[in-house]
Amino acid sequence: MNRVNAPTHRPPRGVAAVRDANESAFASILDGLIRGMPGAYAAAFVDEEGECVEYAGSVDAFHVKVAAAHFRVTLQALVETRAAGRASWFLVRGARESALVYRLADDYALVVLFTRGGGFARTPRALASALRQISEEGAFKYEGEHWYPARFSLDARGRPVLWHRQTSNTGNTFGLRLEGPEVQAEPLEIVGTVMGLNRGERGYRLRLRGGVEVTAIREISREWFTDDRFGALVDPE
């Protein structure tokens, strides 16, 4: 297998990235994934040839597109290596930065770039939510776990008391802000605590009006996720 070296240069901190194209629906999904994964600074959605479909993050377009293309080539090399079996993802930790690469349906791929030491914190729901959303937006088959980003008002102990819930089936993206009659603040009753979570996580079993129950998990990034379909919520005022 040929060695593939990804570019290591990225813009200095505090320098605003300039986009080279208008944002698509995938951009907000990638933005949310970056917020949900500690240390992440950029993400890209690429096709089988490494061509960038969409990107997001605090990085210039050239850097993220070239890096994503390199890592897509690396993924293909792993796929074609018998010893690796059917490779579906890999994580690289470098001296300056790290990268996480996931293979999607139709040979598309998701590439997430991290600062030094990043990429090793467990944020499975943030990743599952992004993979699901990208698959839905791209009309791909998705067979992973279903988690949905959520926004809550919390009490003094950090427990959810109001769910700023969207009542329609649209807008599953992280941090989506909505206004109008489709958004409501839903009172919650905590009926249990979720056990066996990773360090830094907390979770609750919540009951809504009418008796419907959902599970809500706050990951180490402090982003909340639910196992309910209508998990795309507005930020509380």
Q: What is the pLDDT of residues 45-83, one digit of tens each?
A: 999 999 999 999 988 889 999 999 999 999 988 888 766
pLDDT band with cut points at 50, 70 and 90 for residue 233: very low
pLDDT at 21: 66
| Residue 13 burial (CB count, 10 A) | 8
Domain chopping of the chain, boundaries? 25-137, 148-226
- Give me the pLDDT at residue 84, please: 60
This prediction has a pTM of 0.80
What's phi and psi for 107, nearest 5 deg?
65, 20
pLDDT at 234 over 60: no
- When pLDDT is cut at 50, 70 and 90, the band that residue 20 belongs to is low
Give the pLDDT confidence score for residue 117 in this predicted structure: 74
With the C-alpha atoms ordered 221, 194, 234, 31, is the resulting torsion angle positive or negative? positive
Q: Give Cβ neighbours of residue 96 (< 8 Å, ≥ 6 apart).
A: 8, 116
Q: Which CATH superfamily is domain 25-137 in?
A: Dynein light chain 2a, cytoplasmic (3.30.450.30)
Q: Residue 228 — very low, low, confident or very high, per pLDDT cuts 50/70/90?
A: confident
For the chain, percent of residues with pLDDT exceeding 90: 50
Residue 20 identity: D
Rounded CA separation 78/85 (Å): 8
Average pLDDT for the chain: 81
**Which residues have C-beta within 8 Å of that of residue 93, sequence separation ≥ 6?**
117, 119, 120
Pair of tokens at residue 206: 């919540």
Phi/psi at 103 (nearest 5 deg)? Answer: -85, 135
Query: Residue 12: helix, strand or coil by DSSP?
Result: coil
Q: What average pLDDT does the segment 204-208 reach?
A: 93
What per-residue confidence (pLDDT) applies to 65? 94
d(CA 56, CA 134): 13
Is the pLDDT assigned to residue 108 strictly greater than 80?
yes
- Tokens 């300039």 correspond to 18
Mean local confidence (pLDDT), 158-166: 86
Between CA 30 and CA 206 the distance in angstroms is: 28
